[in-house]
Structure 1
Amino acid sequence: LGAQVLWQTLEVPESGWRLHLLHDTRASAAAGRAAAIAAAGAWLALALLWLFVQQRRRLSALRQRSRHELETLLQQHAEELRTAQDGVVTAAQQANAGLSRSLEHLPQGVVVIDEALNLVAWNSRYVELFRFPPELLKIGRPIEDLFRFNARRGLLGPGPIEAAIERRLNHLRSGKPHMRESEKEDGTVLEIRGNPLPDGGFVTSYADITSYKNAARELRSLADALEHRVAERTRDLAAAKREAESANRYKTRFVASAVHDLLQPLNAARMFVSVLRGQVHEAGSARVVDSIDGALAAQDAILNSLLDISRLEAGSLKTQVRDFALAPLLDTLAREFGILAEDRGLVLESVPTSAVVLSDENLLRRILQNFLSNAIRYTPRGRVLIGCRRRGGWLRIEVHDQGPGIPDALQHEIFEEFRRLDDGVANDRGAGLGLAIVERIGRLLGHRIGLRSTLGSGSVFSVTVPLGERAAIARQLPAPASTAEHGNDPILHGCRVWCVDDEPLVCEATRTLLERWECRVDFAGGPEEAVNAANADEVPELLLLDVRMGTHYGPMLLPLLVERWQREPRVILVTAEPDPALRERALDLGWGFLSKPVRPPALRALVTQMLMRRG
């Protein structure tokens, strides 16, 4: 065969034959080659199409990117052109003095330089401040020339000129803002402010703040002068305050000394009256003695009021605040002032109370005594009432009267010293110190003093005190039984007593009173005589010792007497000294203590109490 053929064998099982077929493959091969070529052409076409599409995409993307980049480039270029144009316009305006005209309205001197440190614009105020010649100021002139011109006139300060110029140029090159002050030779003070410009360059303003500085200096001088005057006034006030305090202390000492001196004869007079009362039996003479004793008691009250004022102002009055039941105090006051009210045709009513208060019992007693005394003094008829009202944790103790009432204009004044009303119905008008003492005691204790009054209807005086705790009340010791004024007391009979006082009248009155009580008074005299008379053979059972005796001090005299007696008797200190510490010291040492003027019943009760300790 001249060409390739396809040999195909086929088995025929029924006949047992084998069939061989021969095919000419040239036509099929040609057809296959044609099909292969057609398929290759189709794939090639597809590949070319894909490449074409991709190329089109790339070209489209490239065109888009190129267009965007071109637009961006054009925008940037346009912006640069606009900026350049603005700069050109600005430079042209500056060059044409357009900016200079816009700067003319500013009060500061202004100069503008470009990034090359050359002049661009300025205003006339700048020229006026530095007196630049016209030929020096030209657009484009280096700012260094202006610095050098100022340096030759000494406006750049001390030191080398070149260094000063270079320092300023370097600062401008740095583009940093600055602010400083500079004073010229003629006294002009400039505030210099510099700021960089956005497109390069620098603007500097020069403000004349001379008037501001002068005003500040004047204000500073005025402030210094005012401070000096205030310091002087403060020193004057301090000196005046010291003088006032010194005068007040002197007044306090004078009052205390005067009261002390006045109490000495009064003390003796009270004792003599007590002796006289025991010797007078006729009714008429007894009334005279009672009148004398009443007058002395009034004088005693006035002097004690003066002494209280002195102690309150000096701050020497000490308080002993504690919880105590109020009922015993009100009952005692009701009994004491009930008799006085009955003598004057009045009725004193006391409303019972179970309250416990926190206060100083003795000072509260003084307040209420004053209220009751005034109520009875100024009530012509009717009744006086004392009672209490609870308000939360406080108790208001009130004293009601049916007197004439107090006008509103006088309700504040009556608490001043030596201020009293003139419409009292009783004859024992005080010195006008009672309510002044009440006000000061209330302030000392922190108790509010109150007053309300209606003309023609009466007044209500009150003191508001804090409520106390019933559980805190200490067991009260029963008061010593009072000793009768008259009659013999076995414990006093033959008792050996010494009285040491530098007032002869007081010694004589004390001797007379004690001898009337059947005491044996072995000595009654001054401190020097007492030291000379003391000996171990005649030791008294009781010593009445004055505290202040000229240059001698009673408690310091006692050791000298004890040294001669060789033992210490019972001691009762008798003094007009307004010193609470002295009383405390006496009680701590087991001594008795009495304040002048001495009331004979109190003296007798204390003497009896002291002698009862000898067992």
Structure 2
Amino acid sequence: MTSNLIDPREPLEEQHARLLVITEALMRRVEQEMDEVGAAYAQFERAVVLEDQVQQRTAELEHALNLLNHSNAQLAQASRDADAARADLSNAIEAVREGFALFNGDDVLVMCNSRFGQQIRDVQPQLEPGLHFREYVVLVSRSRFLALPRGTSPEVWAAKRLQRHSDTHVMFNVELKDDHWLQVSEHRTPGGGTVILQTDITDVIRIGREERDKLLDEQARMIRATLEHLNQGVAIFDRGARLVGWNRRFVDLLALSPIRMHIGVRFDRIAQDFRERFSVSQDSFLRTLEHWRGDVVQQTPLSFELQGANRQTLDTFARQMPDGGFVISVTNVTAEREATRALSIANETLEARVTERTLELEDALDAAERANASKSRFVAAASHDLLQPLSAAKLYLASATDGDANPLLVKAGRALESVELIIDALLDISKLDSGSAQFDFRDVALNEVLLPLRDELAPLAASKGLDLRVVPSRLSVRSDPSYLRRILQNLMGNALRYTERGKVLVGVRRMRDAVRLEVWDTGIGIREEDQELIFQEFQRLDASASANEGLGLGLAIVERACARLGHPLGLWSQPGRGSGFFVNLPIANRPGRAADPMVPQVAAGWRLKNRGMIVLLVEDDNDLRRAITVLLGKWDVSVLDAASADEAIDLLDEIEITPDAVLVDYQLEGSMDGVALAQALFERHGPLPTCILSANRSSEFRARCGDAGLPLIAKPIDAGKLERFLLSALPGEVDAEARPRFFSFD
């Protein structure tokens, strides 16, 4: 009931007074309505309880009133503090020497000081809080105090200004009327607002202009002084072809009248004197200068000569300047032209003599080139013709020995091997000398070169009772593997050949970014005066050595190959104590292979016995074809032989047998060579294991075989290599899935 009699929206004082009135009314009612049965007492008790509630409510209202009064006091203090802070901020902004304005995040002006827009007096009265930034820019663009750039309207200026406003940081200069300047900078606030500062930089601009004018005056004086000290005549014309500067040398060289030379005279009037006193080598260039216009871009300089009396020659040079004008320089080259004429007369006589001598030298050079080409063709042809019968002889010997140790056959085999080595050496020297040798640089594991050579030369060392030690190495080098093997083979063979007792040591010494192959021996040594001689062809220190021990070509090949490969070669030797040869090689990034165990040597062909293998042999040389047939017959291999490509194709079509492997000579009579025949057989019979036999050692030929996927065995044919190829062609000898289509055996 009480809550219905009191309006909580009324002030606390009014609620308290209303409760007191209600309490008094209730007390009076209680006293008036008491009855005989004690109802008045009950009313009294209720009145007492109601009074307690009223007192409690009154206390709460008084406490709330105190809190409200305290809060009102704090709010009033805060309002006074805010007013003081606003006044301090306004005073601080007003104390700033630059014009200051603050726009909020909605680009509405919040406040500015009295210096903001002070120089734009027709805009400053409208700079009141609430002004939008766009309206501010429009007002400035239309101000009569703003000096707009030439050709720029107020609308265009306002659009560019609003576009700059979108940048995070803006700074630019504004030109005002009466030669005043403002620097305007904008900065973004963390809340997205904008602070604009306007700084009067008129004094800075004027001082800079004065300094620039002084500098230009000083430069002009310096330029005039420089022109007067030049040995050339110089004249400067503006974009209207009017004279603006010249030196005395220009007037003297051209013998111009002083009356002509004054500021502002046009070039066409000066050109009249040119034509009267001189003949012009390029008259079109002179006409170009006479009709000069500054808006025409002449990027190419104009150069011509003026020929005067007594052979006077003036070299004239004209170039356009950045401002559209041009500068002319005149140089007296009379002495140079006279010297050129005298030299030309002398050269005519000398030229005739040089021509005559050149023809003689050309004839001699042609003769030398023909002789060199003839030598190269002879070496190549002779090598091929020699290798054919040599291959046949080696194969016949291989089939004749068949495990027998006939001393005569062994000596004959060694003699043939010596002939093969000599032919190979001659071919190598011919290629290296002619520059036709091509190298295949790649990473080579040294063990892949050292260990096979150790196994190959171990029998020679054992036969002489020498201790051959080859220290394995896990290092890899960057070189051509075949030439690197030839270099090391020749050095090791040479050491074994000239060492009668003791040992030969081959090892690798690691350096910073390179390795050094070293071959040491305890042989006869080399005298200092002979150390250059040994690298020449057919030079041997041991005159008693037989031809089977070499013809002195090994070190010649080593010296040429190292030079072409870029591997420095060194030598140390002392007569009676031994020698050491050193080859420096660039180190590669991958490690070499570990040392391989010694593999026992077995007789060639025994693994082909009783296999029932059929081989197609295509060879146009009858003796070599017969020798290969005999050797393969010893190995229980059936041979289908043909002398040409057409005969081989017809033979397979006739007997309808597909061979297990194919041996093809490269140089065949007819329209197809060995590679073309192999590809024809692939199309007719599928991918038959095919090997090319050839004495051709060129890199182009090897690349062609490699591109066709054909292995190559070089002539003279080695029986071991031939056996390895035939074994690879047998099914089951190598896992069929893992075995590649073709193998390389050379």
Whether the 8 Å CA contact 2:442–2:479 is kept in 1: the answer is yes
**2:580 aligned residue:** 460
Task: Say whether residues 1:368 and 2:492 are aligned partners.
Answer: no
CA deviations over 1:577-600 (Å, ceiling 9, x no partner): 122233333234332210000111
**1:326 aligned residue:** 446
Whether the 8 Å CA contact 1:418–1:433 is kept in 2: the answer is yes
What is the CA RMSD across the aligned residues, in angstroms?
Answer: 3.7
Superposition deviation, residue 550 in structure 1: 4.4
Aligned residue for 2:548, secondary structure, equals: coil
**2:662 aligned residue:** 543
How far apart, in 1, do the equivalents of 2:363 and 2:313 lie? 47
How far apart, in 1, do the equivalents of 2:380 and 2:653 lie? 35
Superposition deviation, residue 547 in structure 1: 0.4
Task: Say whether residues 1:609 and 2:733 are aligned partners.
Answer: no
Matches within 5 A, 1:405-420: 405-420=525-540
Whether the 8 Å CA contact 2:278–2:308 is kept in 1: the answer is no
Superposition deviation, residue 360 in structure 1: 2.0
**2:615 aligned residue:** 497
Structure 1 residues 505 and 427: alpha-carbon distance in aligned structure 2, compared to 1, 3 A threshold: closer
Superposition deviation, residue 515 in structure 1: 1.1
Higher relative contact order (CA 8 A, sep 6+): 1
Structure 1 residues 230 and 496: alpha-carbon distance in aligned structure 2, compared to 1, 3 A threshold: same
Structure 1 residues 483 and 213: alpha-carbon distance in aligned structure 2, compared to 1, 3 A threshold: closer
Superposition deviation, residue 215 in structure 1: 8.2
Superposition deviation, residue 395 in structure 1: 1.5
Structure 1 residues 482 and 407: alpha-carbon distance in aligned structure 2, compared to 1, 3 A threshold: closer
How far apart, in 2, do the equivalents of 1:357 and 1:568 lie? 36
Consecutive unaligned residues in structure 1, runs of 5 or more: 1-114, 116-155, 159-178, 184-188, 193-208
Aligned residues: 413
Matches within 5 A, 1:92-103: none
Superposition deviation, residue 549 in structure 1: 2.6
**1:309 aligned residue:** 429
Whether the 8 Å CA contact 1:394–1:466 is kept in 2: the answer is yes
How far apart, in 2, do the equivalents of 1:517 and 1:418 lie? 40
Name which of 695, 700, 710 aligns with 1:581.
700
Aligned residue for 2:583, secondary structure, equals: strand
Whether the 8 Å CA contact 1:256–1:578 is kept in 2: the answer is no
Matches within 5 A, 1:347-362: 347-362=467-482
Structure 1 residues 456 and 506: alpha-carbon distance in aligned structure 2, compared to 1, 3 A threshold: same
Task: Say whether residues 1:447 and 2:567 are aligned partners.
Answer: yes
Name which of 406, 414, 426 aligns with 1:294.
414
Q: Give the letter for the 1:597 counterpart.
A: P
Superposition deviation, residue 566 in structure 1: 4.4
TM-score where L is the length of structure 2: 0.50
Task: Say whether residues 1:437 and 2:437 are aligned partners.
Answer: no
Structure 1 residues 382 and 482: alpha-carbon distance in aligned structure 2, compared to 1, 3 A threshold: closer
Q: Give the letter for the 2:629 counterpart.
A: R
CA deviations over 1:199-253 (Å, ceiling 9, x no partner): xxxxxxxxxx99x999875543223333444455455545544543343233222
Name which of 499, 503, 508 aligns with 1:388.
508
Which aligned runs of 4 or more in structure 1 are off by greater than 6 angstroms? 189-192, 212-216
Task: Say whether residues 1:221 and 2:340 are aligned partners.
Answer: no
How far apart, in 1, do the equivalents of 2:313 and 2:693 lie? 83
Structure 1 residues 614 and 396: alpha-carbon distance in aligned structure 2, compared to 1, 3 A threshold: closer
Consecutive unaligned residues in structure 2, runs of 5 or more: 1-256, 258-276, 280-305, 315-333, 737-746
Structure 1 residues 492 and 321: alpha-carbon distance in aligned structure 2, compared to 1, 3 A threshold: farther
How far apart, in 1, do the equivalents of 2:601 and 2:456 lie? 18
**2:628 aligned residue:** 510
Superposition deviation, residue 602 in structure 1: 1.1
**1:572 aligned residue:** 691
CA deviations over 1:138-190 (Å, ceiling 9, x no partner): xxxxxxxxxxxxxxxxxx999xxxxxxxxxxxxxxxxxxxx98745xxxxx89
**1:149 aligned residue:** none
> Which structure is larger by alpha-carbon Rg, 1 or 2?
1
Structure 1 residues 469 and 239: alpha-carbon distance in aligned structure 2, compared to 1, 3 A threshold: farther
Superposition deviation, residue 333 in structure 1: 2.2
Structure 1 residues 550 and 252: alpha-carbon distance in aligned structure 2, compared to 1, 3 A threshold: farther
Structure 1 residues 222 and 522: alpha-carbon distance in aligned structure 2, compared to 1, 3 A threshold: same
Percentage of matched positions with identical amino acids: 36
Structure 1 residues 521 and 180: alpha-carbon distance in aligned structure 2, compared to 1, 3 A threshold: closer
How far apart, in 2, do the equivalents of 1:554 and 1:310 lie? 26
**1:522 aligned residue:** 640
Whether the 8 Å CA contact 1:377–1:426 is kept in 2: the answer is no
How far apart, in 1, do the equivalents of 2:652 and 2:605 lie? 31
Structure 1 residues 490 and 581: alpha-carbon distance in aligned structure 2, compared to 1, 3 A threshold: same
Aligned residue for 1:247, secondary structure, equals: helix
Structure 1 residues 524 and 272: alpha-carbon distance in aligned structure 2, compared to 1, 3 A threshold: farther
Structure 1 residues 534 and 562: alpha-carbon distance in aligned structure 2, compared to 1, 3 A threshold: farther
Whether the 8 Å CA contact 2:395–2:627 is kept in 1: the answer is yes
How far apart, in 2, do the equivalents of 1:427 and 1:560 lie? 45
**2:380 aligned residue:** 256
How far apart, in 2, do the equivalents of 1:486 and 1:497 lie? 17
Name which of 628, 636, 652 aligns with 1:534.
652
Matches within 5 A, 1:395-406: 395-406=515-526
Matches within 5 A, 1:144-163: none
CA deviations over 1:530-554 (Å, ceiling 9, x no partner): 3442316123221110001345522
Superposition deviation, residue 390 in structure 1: 3.1
Superposition deviation, residue 499 in structure 1: 1.0
Superposition deviation, residue 496 in structure 1: 1.3
